[in-house]
Amino acid sequence: MEALLEVKDLTVAYHRKPVLENFNLTVQRGDIYGIIGNNGVGKTTLLKVITGLLRSDRGEVKIRLEGGKKATIGTLIEKPGLFKDMSAYENIKAKALFLGVKYAKKDVNRLLERVGLGDVGRKRTGAFSMGMKQRLGIALALVGDPDILVLDEPINGLDPQGMNEVRNLLLKIHEETGLTVLISSHILDELAKIATRFLVMGRGGKVIRNCTKEEFVQECGEENLDEYYVKLISDFSQDSVD
Ligand code: ADP
């Protein structure tokens, strides 16, 4: 099967200091890739290059559907940029207009329903809870039906209810459409409830683990995920010192 997304020998540096070096990743259609790593390992940088927000110094990112057609990406990097004096409905309309996608009233309403904001679609978004804002952010990323959804720390700062809402929404969308998702987070337990695969990144964008969620959970055994993760990355730090 041909990969939907292929990142090949990617190198990205800020002021000549490399953050990612010869980084490789292959994502199949329908994967939900949970990307884990300490602050500063280059998760956001990777996601920005994949979504085209940042240029790499070397390497390439190939995103294509079967038959060679270019796939599209929807993005939510941390918090959504919302027009807070406008309603959720108007925010979606504005995004569609910006992308040049034709969205009739029923399309906007369907999208609002999909993210569970059907009954508050006409309310000012400034008054939304964090969870509602993130769900609207995901709706905005879904405008135009992208093939890949890229979410950078979408549950950061959410309370348990907000996390629940976002998780259920992502699982529902994945079940309905088989959408491919890349999602970074350092809340491992939460990520384990969503992801089908785990990518653990270490310093310098090194790939410490790239495996199925089940393999990761099995490796972890009786230990809790956080403890196992800390051990994994400290082993890696030891290795890189030697
Ligand atoms: P993560 O998302 O894993 O926390 P980032 O990709 O945000 O990591 O950052 C990786 C490294 O690159 C960090 O050391 C960060 O300070 C640095 N960095 C990120 N963005 C910039 C920038 N615009 N200019 C300079 N350094 C940056």
Q: What is the bridge-based pairing of β-strands 197-202 and 180-184?
A: unpaired
Q: Say yes or no: CB of residue 132 within 6 Å of ligand 1.
A: no
Contact of 7 with 182, CB cutoff 8 Å: no
83 Cβ inside 6 Å of ligand 1: no
At a CB cut-off of 8 Å and minimum separation 6, what does 203 contact? 38, 40, 41, 236, 237, 240
C-beta of residue 10 within 8 angstroms of C-beta of residue 56: yes
What's the pLDDT at 97?
A: 95
Residue 240's pLDDT is 55
Q: How far is the CA of 21 from the centre of ligand 1 (A)?
A: 14
CA of 174 to the centre of ligand 1 (A): 30
Ranges under pLDDT 70 in the chain: 1, 238-242
CA distance 180 to 150: 9
**Structure confidence at residue 68 (pLDDT):** 80
Candidate of 14, 49, 150, 206 to mutate for ligand 1, largest count of ligand atoms within 8 Å of Cβ: 14
CB 19 near ligand 1, within 6 Å = yes
- Lookup: tokens for 208: 């410490």
pLDDT computed for residue 77 by the predictor: 87
Ligand 1 centre from 19 Cα, in Å?
A: 7
